[in-house]
Structure 1
Amino acid sequence: MRKWIVIVTVFLLMHQWVSAQATHDFKYGDEHFLLDGKPFQMISGEIHYPRVPREAWRHRMKMAKAMGINTIGTYVFWNVHEPQQGVYDFAGNHDIAAFVKIAREEGLWVVLRPSPYVCAEWEFGGYPYWLQNIKGLKVRSTEPQYLAAYKNYIQQVGKQLAPYLVTHGGNIVMVQFENEYGSYGADKEYLSINQQMFVDAGFDCLLYTCDPAKDVAKGYLPGFLPAVNGLDRPEQVKGLVRKYHDGKGPFFVAEWYPAWFDWWGEKHHRVPAEDYSGKLDELLGAGLSINMYMFHGGTTRGYMNGANCYDTSFYEPQISSYDYDAPLDEAGNATQKFLEFRKVIQKNLPVGQSLPEVPAAKPSITLPAIKFTNATDLFSVLPAPVKSARPLTFEALKQAYGFVLYRTLQPGGRKGMLSIKELRDYGIVFINGKRVGVLDRRKKQDSLEVDLPSGTATIDILVENMGRINFGPNLLKNEKGITSRVSLNGMELLGWQMYSLPFEGVNKLSFAKPVKIKEAPVLRKGVFELAATGDTYLDMRQWGKGCVWINGHHLGRYWSIGPQQTLYVPAEWLKKGKNEVVVLELLTPGQTELTGLSKPVLDVLAPGNGVQ
Structure 2
Amino acid sequence: MKRLGAVIVFIITCYLQVSAQSISQHTFALGETAFLLDGKPFQMISGEMHYPRVPREAWRARMKMAKAMGLNTIGTYVFWNLHEPEKGRYDFSGNNDIAEFVKIAQEEGLWVVLRPSPYVCAEWEFGGYPYWLQEVKGLEVRSKEPQYLEAYRNYIKAVGKQLAPLQVNHGGNILMVQIENEYGSYSNDKDYLEVNRKMFVDAGFDGLLYTCDPEAAIKDGHLPGLLPAINGIDDPAKVKKLINENHDGKGPYYIAEWYPAWFDWWGTKHHTVSYQKYLGPLDSVLSAGISINMYMFHGGTTRGFMNGANGNDHTPYEPQISSYDYDAPLDEAGNATEKFMQFRKVIAKHLPAGQSLPEVPAARPVIEIPAIKLTQSTSIFSLRPIPVSSDKPLTFEDLGQAYGWVLYSTTLDGNKSGWLQLKELRDYCIVMVNGKRVGVLDRRKAQDSLLLQLPAGKVKLDLLVENLGRINFGPYLLSNKKGITEKVIFDHKELKNWQLFKFPFDQLPANTVKTTPVNNAPALKQGSFVLTEVGDTYLDLSNWGKGAVWINGHHLGRYWEVGPQQTIYVPAEWLKKGRNSIAVMELLKPEMKELRGIKHPILDVLK
**TM value normalised by structure 1:** 0.97
Verify: 1:81 aligned to 2:88, yes or no. Answer: no
Secondary structure of 1:90's match?
Answer: coil
RMSD: 1.8
1:32 counterpart residue number? 34
Residues 102-122 of structure 1: per-residue CA shift (max 9 Å, x gap)? 000000000000001000000
Counting only pairs closer than 5 Å after superposition, residues 480-499 of structure 1 correspond to structure 2 as 480-499=482-501
**Counterpart code for 2:586:** E
Verify: 1:238 aligned to 2:235, yes or no. Answer: no
Secondary structure of 1:27's match?
Answer: strand
Are the counterparts in 2 of residues 518 and 590 from structure 1 also a CA contact under 8 Å?
no
1:362 counterpart residue number? 364
Are the counterparts in 1 of residues 177 and 210 from structure 2 also a CA contact under 8 Å?
yes
1:592 counterpart residue number? 593
2:291 counterpart residue number? 289
1:391 counterpart residue number? 393
Secondary structure of 1:471's match?
Answer: coil
1:605 counterpart residue number? 606
Are the counterparts in 2 of residues 507 and 552 from structure 1 also a CA contact under 8 Å?
no
Rounded Cα–Cα distance in structure 1 between residues aligned with 2:505 and 2:511 = 10
Rounded Cα–Cα distance in structure 2 between residues aligned with 1:451 and 1:9 = 84
Secondary structure of 1:210's match?
Answer: strand
Verify: 1:562 aligned to 2:581, yes or no. Answer: no
Rounded Cα–Cα distance in structure 2 between residues aligned with 1:372 and 1:343 = 47
Unaligned runs of 5+ residues in structure 1 are 607-612
Q: Specify whether residues 248 and 519 from structure 1 end up closer, same or farther in structure 2 by C-alpha distance, changes over 3 A only.
A: same
Shift of residue 512, structure 1, vs aligned partner? 1.6
Secondary structure of 1:303's match?
Answer: coil
Shift of residue 451, structure 1, vs aligned partner? 1.3
Rounded Cα–Cα distance in structure 1 between residues aligned with 2:9 and 2:512 = 52
Q: Specify whether residues 410 and 313 from structure 1 end up closer, same or farther in structure 2 by C-alpha distance, changes over 3 A only.
A: farther
Rounded Cα–Cα distance in structure 2 between residues aligned with 1:182 and 1:347 = 35
Rounded Cα–Cα distance in structure 2 between residues aligned with 1:303 and 1:207 = 31
Shift of residue 9, structure 1, vs aligned partner? 9.4
2:532 counterpart residue number? 531
Secondary structure of 2:343's match?
Answer: helix
Shift of residue 20, structure 1, vs aligned partner? 3.3
Shift of residue 67, structure 1, vs aligned partner? 0.2
Q: 2:441 aligns with which of 433, 439, 443?
A: 439
Q: Specify whether residues 138 and 175 from structure 1 end up closer, same or farther in structure 2 by C-alpha distance, changes over 3 A only.
A: same
Shift of residue 379, structure 1, vs aligned partner? 0.6
Counting only pairs closer than 5 Å after superposition, residues 257-336 of structure 1 correspond to structure 2 as 257-311=259-313, 314-336=316-338
Shift of residue 372, structure 1, vs aligned partner? 1.3
Q: 1:352 aligns with which of 341, 351, 354?
A: 354
Shift of residue 507, structure 1, vs aligned partner? 5.7
Residues 408-448 of structure 1: per-residue CA shift (max 9 Å, x gap)? 11111211000000000000100111111000000000000
1:572 counterpart residue number? 573
Shift of residue 175, structure 1, vs aligned partner? 0.2
Q: Specify whether residues 418 and 106 from structure 1 end up closer, same or farther in structure 2 by C-alpha distance, changes over 3 A only.
A: same
Shift of residue 508, structure 1, vs aligned partner? 1.5
Rounded Cα–Cα distance in structure 2 between residues aligned with 1:49 and 1:8 = 38
Rounded Cα–Cα distance in structure 2 between residues aligned with 1:546 and 1:516 = 16
Counting only pairs closer than 5 Å after superposition, residues 406-555 of structure 1 correspond to structure 2 as 406-506=408-508, 508-512=510-514, 515-555=516-556
Rounded Cα–Cα distance in structure 2 between residues aligned with 1:485 and 1:312 = 24
Secondary structure of 1:498's match?
Answer: strand
Shift of residue 547, structure 1, vs aligned partner? 0.3
Are the counterparts in 1 of residues 549 and 558 from structure 2 also a CA contact under 8 Å?
yes
Unaligned runs of 5+ residues in structure 2 are none
2:139 counterpart residue number? 137
Q: 2:111 aligns with which of 105, 109, 112?
A: 109
Shift of residue 14, structure 1, vs aligned partner? 6.4
Are the counterparts in 1 of residues 435 and 518 from structure 2 also a CA contact under 8 Å?
no
Rounded Cα–Cα distance in structure 2 between residues aligned with 1:10 and 1:84 = 43
Are the counterparts in 1 of residues 382 and 513 from structure 2 also a CA contact under 8 Å?
no
Secondary structure of 1:261's match?
Answer: coil
Shift of residue 310, structure 1, vs aligned partner? 2.2
Residues 346-381 of structure 1: per-residue CA shift (max 9 Å, x gap)? 012122211000001011010110011211111101
Rounded Cα–Cα distance in structure 2 between residues aligned with 1:32 and 1:223 = 16
**Counterpart code for 1:132:** Q
**Counterpart code for 1:332:** G
Verify: 1:342 aligned to 2:357, yes or no. Answer: no
Verify: 1:173 aligned to 2:175, yes or no. Answer: yes
Are the counterparts in 2 of residues 511 and 525 from structure 1 also a CA contact under 8 Å?
no
Rounded Cα–Cα distance in structure 2 between residues aligned with 1:6 and 1:58 = 31
Which stretch has the larger CA shift, 502-511 or 152-161?
502-511
Are the counterparts in 2 of residues 517 and 590 from structure 1 also a CA contact under 8 Å?
no
Residues 229-267 of structure 1: per-residue CA shift (max 9 Å, x gap)? 000100000000000101000000000000000000000
Rounded Cα–Cα distance in structure 2 between residues aligned with 1:258 and 1:561 = 26
**Counterpart code for 2:112:** V
Which stretch has the larger CA shift, 499-508 or 523-532?
499-508
Rounded Cα–Cα distance in structure 2 between residues aligned with 1:218 and 1:499 = 45
Q: Specify whether residues 389 and 7 from structure 1 end up closer, same or farther in structure 2 by C-alpha distance, changes over 3 A only.
A: farther
